[in-house]
């Protein structure tokens, strides 16, 4: 499993979190996606490493800014 932690600017509320979660889960085959607007973070767990450029574009297209991505094997 791969955990991808994305720093996301622009999330202001739980609806923003839901919007990001739905955008990511709609674009990728993931086990889970959990966003937290208070710490400006989205944590994604997936079987395979995600394409960071595509992930960034999906979140940008949803109306948010990606300021960093870190992936780690779990």
What CATH number is given to the structural domain containing 65? 3.30.70.100
Among positive and negative, which fits the CA dihedral 3, 39, 62, 31?
positive
Count of structural domains, the chain: 1
Give the Å distances, CA to CA, from 5 to 35, 40, 45, 56: 10, 10, 9, 12
Domain range holding 15? 2-73
Q: What is the pLDDT of residue 25?
A: 97
Q: What digits encode the pLDDT tens for the residues 30-48?
A: 999 999 999 999 999 999 9
Q: Which of 48, 26, 22, 51 is nearest to 35 (CA)?
A: 22
Q: What digits encode the pLDDT tens for the residues 40-74?
A: 999 999 999 999 999 999 999 999 999 999 999 99
Q: What is the pLDDT of residue 71?
A: 97
Q: What is the reported pTM?
A: 0.94
What number is the average pLDDT over the span 8-20? 98
């Amino acid at each position: 499993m791969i955990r991808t932690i994305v720093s996301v600017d622009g999330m202001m509320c739980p609806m923003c979190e839901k919007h990001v979660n739905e955008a990511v889960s709609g674009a990728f085959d993931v086990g889970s996606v959990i966003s937290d607007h208070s710490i400006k973070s989205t944590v994604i767990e997936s079987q395979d490493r995600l394409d960071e450029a595509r992930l960034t574009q999906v979140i940008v297209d949803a109306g948010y800014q990606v300021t960093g991505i870190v992936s780690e094997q779990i």
